[in-house]
Amino acid sequence: MPVTRRALIATATPALLFGQALSIRAARAAADPRMAVRAAGNPAAKVHVEEWFSLTCTHCAHFSAEVFPQIRTNLIDTGKVYYVFRDFPLDQIALAAAMVARTLPPERYEPFVLSLLASQDRWAFARDVNPQDALQKMAALAGMPADLFQKTLADDTLRQAIMEEQDRGQAEYKIEVTPTFRFNDKAQVGQEMSYEDFARQVASLT
C-alpha cells in the first residue's frame, strides 16, 4: 500500500495544461525563486506529468531507483514528457529535506533529490543516526555551506510555502498518498507505477 498523507507535520495544448496550478506557482516563484517549478524535459512536450512525492516515502524511493531511470531515458530525454516534481512531505524530516533541495541551485535539485531517495535508508531511517545531521552532510556534498543549511531549516516562509503547496494538492486534486502521478490533468494515479503502466498512460495522451 502507498504511504498516506503526512501525519507528523504541525503548523488543451501543452501550454495550457495545468494552467491554474502553473499560474499559482509562477506568482510564488516571482516572490521566492525557491518555489519555482522544478522539472525535467521540454515544457513543450505533449505530455506533462506531475509526481507528488515525499523524500521519506519508501515507495517513492523504490520508484526513483527502479522506474524513473527508464522514464528519464525513454520519455523525458526524448522530448515526450515534461516531468514536474511536486513536494508532498509526509513528516518533518521530509519537509526539512524538501526545503534544502529547493534552496540549492535549480540544476542541483534533481540530482540531490535522487540522491536522497537512493540513500533514504541511511539518512532518514538508519538507527543511531540523527536525520538532520545526515541531511546536512549530504547538503554539504551538494555544495551547501553549513550556515546556509541552518538558515534554510529556520526559514518559516519557505516551510509555509511548501506546506501550502501540499495543502493545495490535497484540496484541489484529493492527493492523499505518495507517490501520486498526474498526467495532463486528465489522469491521476495514486500509487507506485511500473514503467510499462507509466508508458501506457503517456502513449494514451500522444
Each domain of the chain, given as residue ranges in start order, spans 38-203
What is the per-residue pLDDT for 127? 87
| 49 in Cβ contact with 83 (< 8 Å) | yes
Q: What pLDDT is attached to residue 23? A: 53
Q: What is the mean pLDDT of residues 174-201?
A: 92
How far apart are alpha carbons 205 and 177 in whole angstroms?
Answer: 24
Q: What is the pLDDT of residues 96-105, one digit of tens each?
A: 999 999 999 9
Question: Are the C-beta atoms of 55 and 120 separated by less than 8 Å?
Answer: yes
What are the Cα distances from residue 19, in Å, to 13, 147, 178?
A: 10, 37, 23
The answer to whether the beta carbons of residues 162 and 99 sit under 8 Å apart is yes
Instruction: Over range 196-203, report the average pLDDT.
Output: 95
**What local confidence, expressed as pLDDT, does residue 25 receive?**
54
Yes or no: say if 140 and 146 are a contact pair by the CB < 8 Å rule.
Answer: yes
At residue 49, the 3 state secondary structure works out as strand
Would you call 113 helix, strand, or coil by DSSP? helix
Share of the chain above pLDDT 90, in %: 78
Whole-number percent of the chain with pLDDT over 70: 85
Band of the pLDDT at 156, cuts 50, 70, 90? very high
**Confidence class of residue 1 from pLDDT cuts 50, 70 and 90?**
very low
Average pLDDT over residues 193-205: 95
* Cβ 35 vs Cβ 86: under 8 Å: no
pLDDT (mean) for 32-58: 95
Q: Which fold has domain 38-203?
A: Glutaredoxin (3.40.30)
